[in-house]
Chains A and B, each alone.
Chain A
Amino acid sequence: MPDALAPAISHRYSAVMTDPDLQQSLQQMRPTLLRFAMLQLRNEAAAEDVVQETLLAALEGKSAFAGRSQLKTWAVSILRNKIVDHLRRGSREGALPLVDENGDEDFDALFDGSGHWQEAPGDWGDPATVLEQRGFYDVLELCMRALPENLARVFTMREVLGFETEEICKELKMSSSNCWVVLYRARMRLRECLQLRWFGAR
């Protein structure tokens, strides 16, 4: 490395290191960020990597945000981008296993011959209240982990990262009908799991 660059680099990092407050706030967020990344990448090493990258990027770009109150929102938005990059790299390396659209995993058994519910869906109550309840997100994560990888990947891109359905199909090289089948199954399985482990268990 040419010597002329050294002062610029050390200046850059000394500025970073002199903000112990920011470092500490970011470190406190680390478990949350890791949880968020794990949910989507389902691989501890990969999750550690993107969180580490995120914390570094946050330290380097600290002038880009105004107040500490927004620190988490800001860190999560960096993390989202890192996760998207990671998923994109992954989809270039190997396509996900295709989902059999005519497989026997449909949810027809939920309905009788005339198309009525065999068992009417339960009343899950007010979302605002439910989502504040202790332990709800633990169960939700458990249900996410129980999904097969390809279902979880597509569902995450749609619901957590906010991709449009067409973008996901294109990105993962799936047909639109395959995309819809996958999203349908993911939603139905999560519903079943939450009913069993949260709403039905209380």
Chain B
Amino acid sequence: MKSCREVHRLVIEGQDRKLGFTERLAVRAHLLLCTACRRFAAQMALLREAFRRFPGD
């Protein structure tokens, strides 16, 4: 099982490159069990969404 430190890296890298199959599986498994990392992933998704919408009004 990967640590939160490893998973937070992969969550970010997943926004900038396509993760390998094993990596994706490991992240999904970890997120299923870890509220803290799920929140982190949600924060990164919100950040992305914010810039997609910019300039909003």
Closest A residue, CB atoms, query B35:
A120
Evaluate contact between A165 and B16: CB separation under 8 angstroms: yes
Q: Does A121 contact B (CB under 8 A)?
A: yes
> Residue among A111, A117, A140, A160 with the most chain B CB within 10 A?
A117
What A residues does B13 contact at CB under 8 A?
Answer: 180, 184
> Residue among B6, B51, B55 with the most chain A CB within 10 A?
B55
B30 CB, nearest partner CB in chain A, Å:
11
Q: Does B47 contact A (CB under 8 A)?
A: yes
How many residues on the B side are at the interface (Cβ–Cβ under 8 A)? Answer: 32
Evaluate contact between B4 and A117: CB separation under 8 angstroms: yes
How many residues on the A side are at the interface (Cβ–Cβ under 8 A)? Answer: 37
Evaluate contact between B40 and A159: CB separation under 8 angstroms: no
B5 CB, nearest partner CB in chain A, Å:
4
Q: Does A47 contact B (CB under 8 A)?
A: no
